[in-house]
Structure 1
Amino acid sequence: MLDIAEELHRWCLRAEPFAVATVSQVGGSTPRGPGAALAVDGAGTAVGSVSGGCVEAAVYDLCADVLADGRPLVRSFGFSTDDLFDIGLTCGGTVEVLIERIVPADRPEIVAFLAAAARRERVALVRPVADPAAGPGRALVVRPDHPDRGSLGAAELDRIAGDRARELLAAGTTGPLVPWPGHATRLLVESSVPAPRLLLFGAVDVAAALARLGSVLGYRVTVCDARPVFATPARFPAGVEVVVDWPHRYLATADVDARTVICVLTHDPKFDVPLLERALGLPVAYVGAMGSRRTHDDRLARLRAVGLDETRLARLRSPLGLDLGARSPEETALSIAAEIVSDRHGRSGLPLTGTSGTIHPPDRVRPSARPAPTRP
């Protein structure tokens, strides 16, 4: 429900029932992953999507049925070769959908989760899927360093599910969860985390174009430059943070994590070298620097001179961006954004016509620091 949390939060404030269909599990190539949702209110208004269009009409009708009778449903859709007009995914994958009626007054855990998710706070919602023994309406809200709210029906299940959900929340991962091997209850964990950061160093024309794309891709964008004449909010899209400071000094105190993307666009060794010296030592997702191949070679020599080893230098994406033949600032920004997306999903960045295999791969999941618990 994360992609429509703001709208659903407003629906909760209206205190009127609605039905929400949430993708609980997928297999093969699918347009949307676990957590994607379609919701329908009493007036028939629909928001969101569970399949990119393949089965939306059928899921809409099921939402209307659940809204009317209140009984939750779990339905699976897959590719059908028997009837070209049958309901299914033409992409060849399978998608399982959990459909529930939400009455805000009766579902305080859902209301609390949606309110926090709308504010982009770090919070997870755990719900049972396809368990005949689990009564409708059970949910657990999990936050870092806070007591869990709600219940899945059993204290031991709540404890283990809460611990496992915190691991997924720390990784920003949404998906199915089996509390322990052999347990009958399969759970869906939806993890809301603050937007990942895109740090652009150098208030240049490419930064302005990349800031727009970064915002569209869901990043919280910051532009930093030591030159106040260029680092002005008027030169950048609304909502972009603009900081006047030396880049390396700003990065020393910036809040970064494993999803953070850093792009160095300054082309000036006095900015680039101290900045990259610090950036390449941080546990961030991506560090790239713009410039020609000659600039790149010079930059590597300067970084080696200040003591960076080959392991750290190997993390640097430079020249940054995919080979699109970009000329304009907008085209250059597109090539950089494309590389960021391909890196995030572990893909090649090659044309799909020259590749094989699944077009929509499952999201890469950071492995748990602990093994799955055994049954108590």
Structure 2
Amino acid sequence: MKELEDIVKAYHTACRQGLKTALATVVHVEGSAYRQPGARMLVTENGALIGAISGGCLEGDALRKAQLVIMQQQPMLVTYDTNDDDDAKLGVGLGCNGIIHILLEPVGANDPDNPVALLQQIAGNRAPAVLVTLCTLHNRKAPQPGTCLLLTANGTLRHHITDDALQTAVIADAQQALQTQTSVIKTYIAAQNNFTALTAYLPPAPQLLIAGAGNDVLPLVKLANLLGWQSTVVDGRPNYATTTRFPEASRVLVAKPAQVLSQVTTDNNTAVVLMTHNYNYDLALLSQLLPLSLPYIGVLGPAKKLQRMLEELQDNGIPISPQQRARIHGPAGLDIGAETAEEIALSVISEIKSVLSATTGTCLREKTTAIHPREQQIILQQHL
């Protein structure tokens, strides 16, 4: 989500400077690639790049082609075959062992439904959405519709698909993607032309609620901000919980445990870390958090501390189900040998990311399967 926000900000800066832009989108990947379908990059006519479509190996060539798209004001589909050992064919060093299809489309500043205008409806909002990008994957010379549909959780639908049968099919698939929280790539087969759609489900950015405003919270907030996560810092001490100390936090609250949840809206993409170093504050807030369907509750400190907290809650008549216990992580963080506040922040953020992504947090070299699920690369088909 941060990448989309950066693209939107850069686009408006370019508009103020009178610069034309183009949007590059990875629409399909066969085999291995650094970025997966849905990765985006904004290109300005003076050569600025915001976002990324690869690890840096494709950006130079994509820049040149994007500037041509800006000049001609016509979308272009570009395919990079990184299986080819002859890197000189592209003038870039590749070696990713995959085929990457990238759609380049000009961004019309006067078009209210241009690609970045649709991105702006998503960026900064903590609500899921679906974005559809249409291309003619197997006929690069055919028309390339580009980013053409946005569907949000509140029912907002914006599109510019003129073919009625295609419109009906794409909207139905977008609604299903929003409901199932999954992305899909599908080719719609028609008599005149076949269009392939990247129907990308975009979850809201993670939200981090941190109980505590000590010095060890500072790097945690900074790292969350770097990742584009929205963070809320809450503490009962007004001289600690200040925006001056935490300028990168989305919100800073001074509140007692019983007052916190009335001021914070949580969802299934919200993680909480208890690190006030005040046992009673953390205990009281934990009792408030238990009934919520939060994916992650981290408790900083030794395992004995958490065990004491759980026993005390149960002694006070607050039952803890196995499902609730599984969501509580204490000591919080991955085992990376962290010692300093910065290292502990990295450890905690890494564990949260692992939980939210439903991964194990192990070394990639230990994986026996592909890093990215191969089912994401399968193109479904539908006859219109």
Q: Which amino acid aligns with 1:151?
A: H
Q: Following the alignment from structure 2 to structure 1, what is the Cα–Cα distance between the partners of residues 186 and 264?
A: 36
Number of the residue aligned with 2:171: 162
Q: Which amino acid aligns with 1:263?
A: V
Q: Following the alignment from structure 1 to structure 2, what is the Cα–Cα distance between the partners of residues 240 and 267?
A: 22
5 Å-filtered alignment, 1:1-376, equals 2=4, 3-12=6-15, 17-87=20-90, 89-106=94-111, 108-110=113-115, 112-120=117-125, 122=127, 124-130=130-136, 136=145, 139-146=148-155, 148-169=157-178, 175-178=183-186, 184-190=194-200, 195-305=205-315, 306-358=318-370, 360-362=371-373
Q: What is the Cα deviation at residue 160 of structure 1?
A: 4.0
Contact 1:23 1:33 in 2 (8 A): yes
Q: Following the alignment from structure 2 to structure 1, what is the Cα–Cα distance between the partners of residues 203 and 362?
A: 30
Contact 2:24 2:103 in 1 (8 A): yes
Number of the residue aligned with 1:368: none
Q: Following the alignment from structure 2 to structure 1, what is the Cα–Cα distance between the partners of residues 155 and 359?
A: 36
Contact 1:134 1:153 in 2 (8 A): no
Q: Following the alignment from structure 1 to structure 2, what is the Cα–Cα distance between the partners of residues 138 and 351?
A: 36
Q: What is the Cα deviation at residue 334 of structure 1?
A: 1.4
Over residues 199-241 of structure 1, what are the superposed CA-to-partner deviations in whole Å (9 max), with x where a residue is unaligned?
A: 0012222222211111111111111112323323333243442
Contact 2:34 2:55 in 1 (8 A): yes
SS in 1 for 2:297: strand
Give the unaligned 5+ runs of structure 2: none
Contact 2:33 2:97 in 1 (8 A): yes
Q: Which amino acid aligns with 1:5?
A: V
Over residues 109-130 of structure 1, what are the superposed CA-to-partner deviations in whole Å (9 max), with x where a residue is unaligned?
A: 4353144345547554423122
Q: Following the alignment from structure 1 to structure 2, what is the Cα–Cα distance between the partners of residues 137 and 354?
A: 38
SS in 1 for 2:26: strand
Identify which range, 129-138 or 88-97, moves more after superposition. Answer: 129-138
Residues paired across the two proteins, number: 368
Contact 2:270 2:295 in 1 (8 A): yes
Contact 2:87 2:94 in 1 (8 A): no
Q: TM-score, normalised by structure 2?
A: 0.81
Contact 1:9 1:118 in 2 (8 A): no
Q: Following the alignment from structure 2 to structure 1, what is the Cα–Cα distance between the partners of residues 215 and 61?
A: 46
Q: Following the alignment from structure 2 to structure 1, what is the Cα–Cα distance between the partners of residues 346 and 256?
A: 26
Q: Which amino acid aligns with 1:227?
A: R
Q: Following the alignment from structure 1 to structure 2, what is the Cα–Cα distance between the partners of residues 205 and 35?
A: 37
Identify which range, 118-127 or 306-315, moves more after superposition. Answer: 118-127
Q: CA RMSD in A?
A: 3.4
Q: Which amino acid aligns with 1:102?
A: V
Q: What is the Cα deviation at residue 158 of structure 1?
A: 2.5
SS in 2 for 1:162: helix
Over residues 122-144 of structure 1, what are the superposed CA-to-partner deviations in whole Å (9 max), with x where a residue is unaligned?
A: 55442312266766467223334
Q: Summarize the Cα distance change of 1:354–1:43 in structure 2 as closer, same or farther, 3 Å threshold.
A: closer
Q: What is the Cα deviation at residue 95 of structure 1?
A: 2.2
Q: Summarize the Cα distance change of 1:104–1:204 in structure 2 as closer, same or farther, 3 Å threshold.
A: same
Q: Following the alignment from structure 2 to structure 1, what is the Cα–Cα distance between the partners of residues 179 and 266?
A: 14
Q: Following the alignment from structure 1 to structure 2, what is the Cα–Cα distance between the partners of residues 188 and 334?
A: 33
Q: What is the Cα deviation at residue 345 of structure 1?
A: 2.7
Over residues 68-116 of structure 1, what are the superposed CA-to-partner deviations in whole Å (9 max), with x where a residue is unaligned?
A: 3344222232333532545464233332211122332356343531443
Give the unaligned 5+ runs of structure 1: 366-371
Contact 2:205 2:230 in 1 (8 A): yes
Q: Following the alignment from structure 1 to structure 2, what is the Cα–Cα distance between the partners of residues 317 and 241?
A: 24
Identify which range, 208-217 or 249-258, moves more after superposition. Answer: 249-258
Q: What is the Cα deviation at residue 170 of structure 1?
A: 6.6
Q: Following the alignment from structure 2 to structure 1, what is the Cα–Cα distance between the partners of residues 195 and 23?
A: 21
Q: Following the alignment from structure 2 to structure 1, what is the Cα–Cα distance between the partners of residues 214 and 113?
A: 47
State percent identity of aligned pairs. 30
Contact 1:231 1:244 in 2 (8 A): yes
Contact 1:23 1:95 in 2 (8 A): yes
Q: Which amino acid aligns with 1:101?
A: P
Q: Following the alignment from structure 1 to structure 2, what is the Cα–Cα distance between the partners of residues 276 and 121?
A: 24
